[in-house]
Amino acid sequence: MTTMTTTAPSRHSRSGLPAKVQIYEVGPRDGLQNEATVVPAATKAEFIERLVAAGLRTIEATSFVSPKWVPQLSDAEALFPMLDWSDGVRYPVLVPNLAGLERARAAGARDIAVFAAATETFARRNLNRSLDESLDMFAPVVAGARQDGIGVRAYVSMCFGDPWEGDVPVDQVVAIAQRLVAMGAQQLSLGDTIGVATPGHVAELVDALARAGIPPADVAVHFHDTYGQALANALAALESGVTTVDASAGGLGGCPYAESATGNLATEDLVWMLHGLGIETGIDLDALVATSAWMAEQLGRPSPSRVVQARLPKGVAR
């Protein structure tokens, strides 16, 4: 077994930050859907089991989309019976439409997420629909889930920039967010899909949403580290009152429909920062690093997480 170093960040709290942050782990879904090879369901289940053992309590497990579009997650029905539902762990799943909702419901999903866009071009490229058509598609999905007592999150991609349309106006994102909340979404995850956000932009958007009646408590943030800004942006969101941050173990992930999108914010890197700020996460960093190192071995490549790289001893493949 790989031996990890035992260093931990020195804790120095700052005023104006939340006492506790929920990490919404997306590695098993958003991370593995971008792998060139299909990871076996048993390996995915072990990955999730290890994440739970490390202390994560909200883990996006899979996606009930058409296997034609995301073959890496075509085993959703096979994976779900392998999951351990004890200790209050939540396993949200992504659903694109009513057919996906039916599959998720039959599998026993208790939380779902829909994947909206803030720009017209990305909606057409990702969903093959206009913005309005995509929102019309999501409305019965959200209503049906809420009627059954299933929790609903709504992702909003391209909130900070779009590779085809460029800068995305804040009021445009707010308008889409308001429509999703009006149809019943309980949480919004603001996606920096191509990693172009900066801290001031993040604070401005969170503040604009609050003025529009969507408080930071109902907002999550989802950053990619294309320009090395993910941690800085996460801190800006926390300073603005957000308490839920999406992250991916080992920095897995990207976006198959936006070539300029690189990996997600690594969960280990986020945990290191949060623990250094004295913020409670409930996560065992050593166990998490070991899990991501193990997953990197399964994938046959090193983890891009800076913390994983720093904490592996010399001589271990990184």
Report whether 298 contacts 50 (CB < 8 A). no
Q: Give residue 87's pLDDT.
A: 81
DSSP 79-114: HGGG---GGG-B--EE--SHHHHHHHHHHT-SEEEE
pTM over 0.85: yes
Q: Give residue 68's pLDDT.
A: 86
Q: Give residue 258's pLDDT.
A: 45
The owner of tokens 């993910």 is 230
Distance CA 258, CA 70 (A): 15
Side-chain-side CA neighbours of 297 within 13 Å: the count stands at 13
Q: Give residue 8's pLDDT.
A: 84
Range 30-41 average pLDDT: 89
Pick the CATH number of 22-311 from 3.20.20.70, 3.30.930.10, 3.20.190.10, 2.40.33.20: 3.20.20.70
The owner of tokens 């942050």 is 21
Per-residue pLDDT at 149 exceeds 90 = yes
Residue ranges per structural domain of the chain: 22-311
What SS3 state is found at 202?
helix
H-helix segments, the chain:
41-53, 76-79, 98-107, 120-127, 131-147, 170-182, 199-211, 230-239, 267-276, 285-299, 306-311
Distance CA 95, CA 152 (A): 10
Per-residue pLDDT at 4 exceeds 70 = no
Range 296-306 average pLDDT: 91
The owner of tokens 């997306």 is 26
Per-residue pLDDT at 117 exceeds 50 = yes
pLDDT digits (tens, 9 = 90+) for 222-231: 999 999 999 9
Report whether 152 contacts 144 (CB < 8 A). no
Return the higher-pLDDT residue of 177 and 2.
177
Question: What are all long-range contacts of 211-217, with beta carbons under 8 Å and residues at least 24 apart?
Answer: 212/174, 212/177, 212/178, 213/178, 213/181, 214/174, 214/177, 214/178, 214/181, 214/188, 215/241, 216/240, 216/241, 216/242, 216/243, 217/241, 217/243
pLDDT band at 1 (very low <50, low <70, confident <90, very high): very low
Instruction: Specify the range with the lowest mean pLDDT, choosing from 46-55, 155-164, 238-247, 248-257.
Output: 248-257
DSSP 228-239: S-HHHHHHHHHH
Distance CA 224, CA 192 (A): 6
Q: Give residue 3's pLDDT.
A: 52
Per-residue pLDDT at 32 exceeds 60 = yes
With CA atoms as reference, report the closest residue to 48 among 82, 24, 1, 22.
82
Please, what is the average pLDDT of the chain? 92
Per-residue pLDDT at 40 exceeds 90 = yes
Percent of the chain with pLDDT over 70: 93
pLDDT band at 7 (very low <50, low <70, confident <90, very high): confident
pLDDT digits (tens, 9 = 90+) for 87-107: 899 999 999 999 999 999 999
Strand partners, 114: 154
Catalytic positions, please? 255
Distance CA 299, CA 37 (A): 8
Question: What are all long-range contacts of 99-107, with beta carbons under 8 Å and residues at least 24 apart?
Answer: 100/63, 100/64, 100/65, 100/141, 101/64, 101/141, 101/144, 101/145, 103/64, 103/76, 103/77, 104/64, 104/76, 104/150, 105/148, 105/150, 106/77, 107/64, 107/76, 107/77, 107/80
Q: Give residue 261's pLDDT.
A: 45
Q: Give residue 260's pLDDT.
A: 41
Hey, what are 305's tokens? 């997480």
pLDDT digits (tens, 9 = 90+) for 238-273: 999 999 999 999 999 754 444 444 689 999 999 999
Range 197-210 average pLDDT: 98
Q: Give residue 262's pLDDT.
A: 62
